[in-house]
Amino acid sequence: MKRLLTLALSLPALAATAQTLTNDGAAITVQSGATLYVAGGIQNKTGSTIANDGTVELTGDFTNAAAASSLSGAGKLRFSGSTDQTLTSPTGTSLAGLEVANTGSTGSNRVLVPADLNVTNQLTLTTGMVRTTPAAVITLPAGATLTGEATGRYVQGNLRAVAPVSGNTAVVFPNSATINANGTNLGTVTVTRTAGMLTAGVSYGQNLAGTTKGIDRVWTVAASGTQPSNATPATVAFSWLADNDNGFATGTNAQLWRSTSAAGPWGKMGPAGSAATRSFSANVTLLGALTISNISAPLPVELVSFTAEPQGADALLRWTTASEKNNDHFEVEASADGKNFRLIGIVAGHGTTTQASEYQLTDKAIAHYAADPVYYRLRQVDADGTASYSPVRQVRVTTPMGFAAESWPQPFGAEGTNLTLRTATAGPATVVVRDALGRLILSRTLDLSAGTTALSLAELGPLSSGVYMLRLSQGTQHAQLKLVRE
């Protein structure tokens, strides 16, 4: 039989030393107006429940090993420790109220949240921080509030807010976003703010070269109803703390930037303006990932799309820019492993233009890479030689690959060379390298898996300059390569 513990009074700490309150199969009920205080942590084991209509306060970690539904009630969970505390519960756990009152020093005053969590009524930051893992999200559904965010006290990581947006009323989201549909019906709008993680492509945007960056906050906005357009744009406004400047100078002109994800590439949205008060608003014709930076970052060339797709035995690469500034050319690069790229073509840019420009290049017979998929990227080069890279795209090989070997770099230097080996059959194989006179330089026995295998031949680095022949053999199958040592 389960035990029922009903608390109607505030309970003092039982001892000065930290302890753990373990609920092992019982039903704990905290009534409205009552406080359960634990000088230490709380562990709610499988099969246990906690119904909290008052306040549960603890100075240690909260660990719920029971189901998400084992926590219920209209009360709040209050963290008041002096070092980092962790709130561990199954994904999708809901709390009516969560208060952070951690008094630890900066960097040790956080409530760490490793799994998705819903706070259905109020998230309160009294002292200290909340930090989610990169994969976890704290969600505030429609009607839920957030109070207390300030410099040195905010939600780091992912904070999602949900609300309906329609008509001409500006809707204020608790994660420092405001949206006005300007007469249309955006439906249910979800705004996910990622902040304070100091990670490029996650919590802030940057240009392709990584030399300029935006504030350390990205808002990803999605709507279920009518989408913004050129004819009916929506107005968005965002604000941030000094903690999230990330090098941005608030006295300079600011620009709203938009992408499909925080990884970029980014394009301008709306006109530039002042962000002296760490806030910025603009009309948007597309939703997605939105952030703030200065007018020249994150991208000097606004690459709005880059695609790679199979076309028979070839790969067709297409890309579009919204505008360009001092764009000399694009270098198209390919790779068999996604790490080591080589130049396969150069396409001239349009210099400086505010008009959209479209480009394409065809890479012929991509089965010769001896890899599946084949990876592609763009290296955009300005007139002054400044270069930046696009995201990487990949194309699956649609023709049979057969048995082959490819080396890179070629020619190679003191670091040796690398091989990509391709076979449809698993089994033993040999790699033999000979010099121009036929003398044996290297012999290695391999156990290949079906598909593609990467192999390093660093031991070739000390060889003298010249031409060498490599032979790959597996049963009756053979492939031969010419290697050149610089």
pLDDT tens digit sequence for 204-246? 988 655 667 899 999 999 999 999 988 899 999 999 999 999 9
Nearest partner of 336 among 375, 300, 388, judged by Cα: 375
Least confident of 92-106, 165-179, 218-232, 294-308: 294-308
Look up tokens 């976890």; give the residue.
Answer: 136
- Distances from the Cα of 52 to the Cα of 60, 98, 134, angstroms: 18, 12, 29
pLDDT of residue 2: 40
pLDDT of residue 4: 42
Give the mean pLDDT of 258-265.
Answer: 79
Would you say residue 5 has pLDDT above 60?
no
Burial letters 144-175, b for 16+ CB under 10 A, else e: bebebbeeebbbbbbbbbbbbbbeeeebebbb
Nearest partner of 345 among 321, 324, 319, judged by Cα: 319
pLDDT of residue 12: 39
Give the mean pLDDT of 89-116.
Answer: 96
pLDDT of residue 368: 76
Would you say residue 102 has pLDDT above 90?
yes
Separation of alpha carbons 352 and 348, rounded Å = 12
pLDDT of residue 399: 55
Q: Sort 450 into a burial class: Cβ within 10 Å, 0-12 / 13-18 / 19+.
A: exposed
Q: In what order do the strands lie in the sheet with 314-321?
A: 303-311, 314-321, 357-363
